[in-house]
Amino acid sequence: MIDRNAIRKALRDGHSKRRPRPCGMTIHTSIGCKFGCIYCYVPDMGFPMKPQPYPLTGLELVYALLNNPYFLPGPYGTLLAFGSVTEPFMDESVERTIEYLEKTRKFLGNPTQISTKAAIDDELLNRLLQVMDPQISFLVTIITIKHAKKLEPNAPGPDDRFETIKRLSKASIHVTLFLRPIIPGLTDSEIPILLSKAKESGAIGVVPGSLRVTPGILRRLELAGLNINKIKHRLPRQPRNSKDQVTIKEHDLKQLVNVYARKLGLHVYPSSCAANIEAHSLSCYSCHWGPCGDPHRLPAIEDNDIKDAIEFFNLKPTKLVMKGNRIIVYVKSGDRKTKDIASIILSTLTKRDFTVK
């Protein structure tokens, strides 16, 4: 099914090595993005604006993930996150996305989320329904109606994306409005109408998110003729270099989302992974936002099971501390990377904040 050259290619790829992000293991279906959203940090990370399909085949991706020491396969394993640094449903990436969704479902079965700004028509939706995780969490990004042409010049319009929410909802897919980023002084005034239209379209909830800025993002916003004074006012510090992403302070704006969403009966998810957890009828308490999902579904934990799991990594536990959602295991020896891998894998298994020291 996979030859030696493909094996070498997969093992050299980042999917076989990198740590998962808080949202899960990011799956790249293409390199670059042509939507040209001027608030996006992807160009500042060095990715091109002319996208190309990701070079791995679906089987090579699966092989890469299975050889990643931080990755745990299966329905209770590592969360998969499509769409983090590219648009999965561009013409250049859609076939690769479909292939990856099919192969990861068939051979891995991990809980999957996918974020998009695309206009998904009936034909594409029917193809997706045949291959993707049936409990997939869809996040449709719509942050503005008024400023869409300036902020997202090459992306499908907001109305097309609300139609995407409607189609997904009618197909009984767990679909959420991805209200990220909220841009103070520009899009925050649209929060009520965006939430209302998302609810009318069939969204289950909303994931609000803060704006992250680089010098390039600030420059692009100004060149588009947009007032960024309120953005600058909320900066905790200035970006240190061209790639430094600084998250602006938006707690009050997220609280505003919370107030309006609850009036409409929309669930407010503190993060994208929280929506993924709920879509898959799981529970997780591995960070301060938890417990997410049904807390009664948190895995039961026994001291002896933890000690056995630690020993699987050839580590010798000397002390175990359990407090709330935190589990800390002190070990006699072991290198830093092994402890890091054990921490990530056991956090995934226990759905708690697990640290090996």
Q: Is the pLDDT of residue 50 over 90?
A: no
Q: State which of 282, 317, 346 marks the end of a domain.
A: 282
What are the tens digits of pLDDT across the range 259-313? 999 999 999 999 999 999 999 999 999 999 999 999 899 999 999 999 999 999 9
pTM equals 0.96
- Pairing mode, strands 326-331 and 317-323: antiparallel
Bridge-partner residues for 90, per DSSP? none
* Pair 72, 140 in one domain: yes
173: tokens are 């897919």
* Pair 161, 27 in one domain: yes
- The band of 46, judged by pLDDT with boundaries at 50, 70 and 90, is confident
* Pair 184, 314 in one domain: no
Amino acid 49: pLDDT: 77
- Reduced to 3 states (helix: H, G, I; strand: E, B; else coil), residue 171 is coil
Bridge-partner residues for 207, per DSSP? 178
Amino acid 120: pLDDT: 98
- The band of 200, judged by pLDDT with boundaries at 50, 70 and 90, is very high
Bridge-partner residues for 338, per DSSP? none
* Pair 187, 99 in one domain: yes
Residue span of the structural domain in which 275 resides: 4-282
Q: Please state, as a whole number, how many other Cβ atoms lie within 10 Å of the Cβ of residue 6.
A: 15
Domain-located, residue 292: no
Give the count of domains, the chain.
Answer: 2
| Pairwise CA distance, residues 209 & 180, whole Å | 4
The CATH number assigned to the domain holding 165 equals: 3.20.20.70
Phi, psi of 26 (to 5 degrees): -75, 135
Please say whether the beta carbons of 235 and 213 come within 8 A.
yes
- The band of 43, judged by pLDDT with boundaries at 50, 70 and 90, is confident
* Pair 101, 150 in one domain: yes
Q: Is the pLDDT of residue 105 over 80?
A: yes
Domain-located, residue 155: yes
